[in-house]
Amino acid sequence: MTEDTAQPTCDRIFIRDLAIRCVIGVEEYERREKQEVLVQIMLDVDLGRAGRTDELTDSVDYSSLKRQILQATENSRFRLIEALAQCIADECLKQSKIERVRVAVEKPCALRFARTVGVEIVRHR
């Protein structure tokens, strides 16, 4: 395969089981106190340069991204987990190196007899 026809690299950074405490839900009792939701984040990023230079500036600072997500969500008062997922995706895409993001938000114990319920969205530039 020549360089001209090579497929773009699909590198990923992931954050698994990020616990966020926020007010979430449509029922009155859900809006009284913060609840914990679990978030899975998959970032599509070209990591080739970072792999060669070993420099954080050539990658995504996922510690900083985590703080940015927590700041945007922990005092939020979303009714739907869909809106929370969109907020998280929007925060991720503020970083120019991130081309695509997959966000899954799970709300444990939201349904009786189910361990969790959730949504998964994919957003890109």
User: Which pLDDT value is given to residue 1?
Assistant: 44
What average pLDDT does range 3-18 have in this prediction?
76
Provide the residue type at 72 as one letter.
A
Residue 42 has pLDDT above 60, yes or no: yes
Residue 16 has pLDDT above 90, yes or no: yes
User: Among 34, 66, 97, 107, which one carries the catalytic annotation?
Assistant: 107
What average pLDDT does range 9-17 have in this prediction?
92
59-103 pLDDT, tens digit each: 999 999 999 999 999 999 999 999 999 999 999 999 999 999 999
Sequential DSSP letters for 92-109: HHTSTTEEEEEEEEEEET
CATH of 3-124, one of 3.30.1130.10, 3.40.50.10310, 3.40.50.150, 3.10.20.520: 3.30.1130.10
At residue 8 the predicted structure's pLDDT band, cuts being 50, 70 and 90, is: low
Residue 5 has pLDDT above 60, yes or no: no
Smallest CA-to-CA distance from 118 within 15, 51, 39, 58 is with: 39
Q: What are the residue ranges spanned by the domains of the chain?
A: 3-124
Say which residue the tokens 């954080």 belong to. 56
How many Å separate Cα 121 from the centre of its chain? 9
What average pLDDT does range 28-36 have in this prediction?
95
Residue 10 has pLDDT above 90, yes or no: no
Smallest CA-to-CA distance from 103 within 79, 80, 87, 115 is with: 87
How many Å separate Cα 75 from the centre of its chain? 17
The reply to whether 97 belongs to the active site is: no
Provide the residue type at 19 as one letter.
A
